[in-house]
Amino acid sequence: MKKLSARRRHPLAALVVLLFALAATGGLYAAFAPADKAKAEEAQTSLAIDEGKKLYAVGCASCHGTGGQGTSDGPSLVGVGAAAVDFQVSTGRMPAQQNGAQVPKKPKVYSAAETEQLAAYVASLGAGPETPTKSQYSLDGKEDAANGGQLFRSNCAQCHNFSGKGGALSNGKYAPSLDGVDPKHIYEAMQTGPQNMPSFPDTVMPEKEKRDIIAYLDKVNGEDAATPGGFTLGGIGPVVEGLFAWVFGLGLLIAITIWVAARTTKAKKS
């Protein structure tokens, strides 16, 4: 005890206290944060209800109107087509949790069968793009990934970044990262233009080109994509590279200077 009080005034005492405080804050945050998240997910799943129009009336009508004509809280669904419903519902974006700059991707609420029922109902409101079939979006090895890359840089990279890592839009909106996104959803997004994303209909970007883009993304950003140089550092360019150079490069080197210049331990006088 006496030792402790003597060390209270040690030059390094402030540092130790600071470390303690940081650890405690972090620990407390870690202890409480997940609890909130779990609760939110529970509330979400409780939304799940059964089929077709009935599903719509309960899950969607409050924002999109009883006949899908849209309200001030949600756009009209007349003519958006089954593909749009499939994209929004099976990526979990719909039903939306709250109004905000943008509705984020989250665990999906409806099962595949329910999604299909919803899609069929919305498609009946007005003609629109149909849900793509597997042959439309899945890769058969005949795609030209290099051409896909060229198309990606012309049409997509301005928002989604050169390797699909996402980027910022105005007022809190953003283009999401394409990491691990199902090819079907990439295809549907290009076809329907969800939320603020513009669409790239077949008339200006034919099916084959969409598949080229999917093939390119698979090559550079898929699960088996190689990153020859090592850590990609998020693949978002010089900002992270600069941070890394400062923290790990200069930080490490300055730590080394301290070792180089420090006095060698002296023999104990006794």
Partner 1 sequence: MSTATDTRRKKAPAGERVADWADSRLGVYSLAKANLRKIFPDHWSFMIGEICLYSFIIIILTGVYLTMFFNPSMGEIVYHGDYVPMQGIRMSEAYASTLDISFEVRGGLLIRQIHHWAALIFIGAMFVHMMRVFFTGAYRKPREMNWVFGFLLLVLGLFTGLTGYSLPDDLLSGTGVRFTQGAILSAPVIGTYLSMFLFGGEFPGHDFVGRFYSIHILLLPGIMLGLVVAHLIMVFLHKHTHWPGPGKTNTNVVGTPFLPVYMGKAGGFFFLVFGVIAAIAAVATINPVWAIGPYRPDQVSTGAQPDWYLGFAEGLIRVMPGWEINAWGHTLVLGVFIPLLIFPLLLVSIAAYPFVESWATGDKRHHHLLVRPRNAPVRTGFGVAWCVSYLTMLVAGGNDIWATHFHLSINAITWFSRVAFFVAPVLAFIVTKRICLGLQRRDKDKVLHGRESGIIKRLPHGEFIEVHEPLSSDELHTLTAHDQYKPLELEPEVDENGVVRKPSRSEKLRVKLSKGLYGEDTQIPKPTPEEYKEITSGHGHH
Partner 2 sequence: MSSQDNSKDNSEENLPQQPEGADSGALSKRDDPFANPGLPPHEHRVQDIDEQAAKRSERAVAGLFTLSMLSTIGFIVSYVSFDIDKIVYIFPIGRVSALNFSLGMTLGLALFCIGAGAIHWARTLMTDVEVAEERHDLDASPEVREEVLAGFQEGARESDIGRRKLVRNTLIGAVAMVPLTGLVLLRDLGPLPGTKLRHTKWAKGKMLINENTLEPLRPEDISVGSLTFAMPEGLSEEDHDFHNEIAKAALMIVRLQPENIKDKRELDWSHEGIVAFSKICTHVGCPISLYEQQTHHVLCPCHQSTFDLTDGGRVIFGPAGHSLPQLRITVNDKGYLEAMGDFAEPVGPAYWERG
**Among partner 2, partner 1, none, partner that 53 touches (CB below 5 to 8 angstroms by kind):** none
CB closer to partner 1 out of 15 and 243: 243
Among 42, 262, 267, 269, binds partner 1 (CB under 8 A): 262
How far apart are CB 125 and partner 2 at their closest, in Å? 17
Give me the amino acid identity at 252: L
CB atoms within 10 A of CB 22: 10
Let me know: does 233 contact 244? Beta carbons within 8 Å.
yes
Asked if 17 interacts with partner 1 (CB under 8 A), we say no
**What are 196's two structure tokens?**
């603020």
Largest Cα–Cα separation, the chain: 94
Asked if 109 interacts with partner 2 (CB under 8 A), we say no
CB closer to partner 1 out of 52 and 244: 244
Let me know: does 128 contact 137? Beta carbons within 8 Å.
no
How far apart are CB 234 and partner 2 at their closest, in Å? 12
Asked if 210 interacts with partner 1 (CB under 8 A), we say no
**Among partner 1, partner 2, none, partner that 5 touches (CB below 5 to 8 angstroms by kind):** partner 1
Task: Give the C-alpha separation, 106 to 247, whole Å.
Answer: 33
Q: Which of residues 222-261 bind partner 1 (CB under 8 A)?
A: 227-233, 235-246, 248-250, 252-254, 256-258, 260-261
For 68, 76, 97, 237, the CA distances from 73, given in Å and listed in that order, are 12, 10, 12, 37
Taking CB under 8 A as the rule, which mask of x and - marks residues 150-189 in contact with partner 2? Answer: -x--xx--xx-------x-xx--x-x--------------
- SS3 of residue 206 by DSSP: coil
CB closer to partner 2 out of 11 and 198: 198
Task: Give the C-alpha separation, 234 to 232, whole Å.
Answer: 5
Task: Give the C-alpha separation, 225 to 244, whole Å.
Answer: 22
Task: Give the C-alpha separation, 200 to 193, whole Å.
Answer: 7
- SS3 of residue 42 by DSSP: helix
Does 135 carry a binding-site annotation? no
**Among partner 2, partner 1, none, partner that 128 touches (CB below 5 to 8 angstroms by kind):** none
Task: Give the C-alpha separation, 136 to 184, whole Å.
Answer: 9
Asked if 230 interacts with partner 2 (CB under 8 A), we say yes
Binding residues for heme c: 60, 63-64, 156, 159-160
Footprint on this chain of partner 2 (rule: CB under 8 A)? 75, 151, 154-155, 158-159, 167, 169-170, 173, 175, 193, 195-201, 203-206, 209, 224-232, 259-260, 263-267, 269
